[in-house]
């Protein structure tokens, strides 16, 4: 996607960004992007931990079943 960009392209891109947003707003923009990335990373970590906990619960539930118990409608758990 960016394989054709060289140094001059990046300089021109930075100048255009400066003209669009202004030098005063760039630090605030970078800060908000960093905070958003940090929140996203934290949410992804929480989702992975939830999935791992759910997987562990499912494995424990399966291992609690007695393999010698009769299977059928008269079985009580």
Question: With helix as H, strand as E and coil as C, how does 3-29 read?
Answer: CCCCHHHHHHHHHHHHHHHCCCCHHHH
Domain total in the chain: 1
- The pair of structure tokens assigned to 6 is 């060289």
Residue 4 CA neighbour count, 13 Å, CB half:
1
**Position 17 in a domain:** no
For tokens 């958003």, the residue is 36
**Position 36 in a domain:** yes
Residue 44 in contact with residue 38, Cβ under 8 Å?
A: no
**Position 6 in a domain:** no
**Position 47 in a domain:** yes
* Helix, strand, coil abundance in the chain, percent, nearest 5: 70, 0, 30
Specify the pLDDT at position 62: 63
Specify the pLDDT at position 71: 60
* Average pLDDT along the chain, 77 residues, taken 10 residues at a time: 77 88 84 94 94 80 60 58
**Position 40 in a domain:** yes
Question: Which residues span the domain enclosing 47?
Answer: 30-58
**Position 65 in a domain:** no
**Position 35 in a domain:** yes
Specify the pLDDT at position 63: 61
**Position 2 in a domain:** no
Specify the pLDDT at position 14: 87
């Amino acid at each position: 996607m960016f394989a054709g960009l060289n140094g001059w392209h990046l300089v021109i891109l930075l100048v255009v960004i400066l003209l669009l947003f202004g030098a005063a707003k760039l630090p605030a923009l970078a800060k908000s992007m960093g905070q958003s990335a940090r929140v996203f990373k934290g949410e992804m970590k929480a989702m992975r931990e939830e999935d791992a906990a759910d997987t562990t619960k499912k494995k424990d539930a399966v291992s609690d079943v007695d393999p010698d118990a009769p299977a059928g409608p008269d079985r009580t758990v």
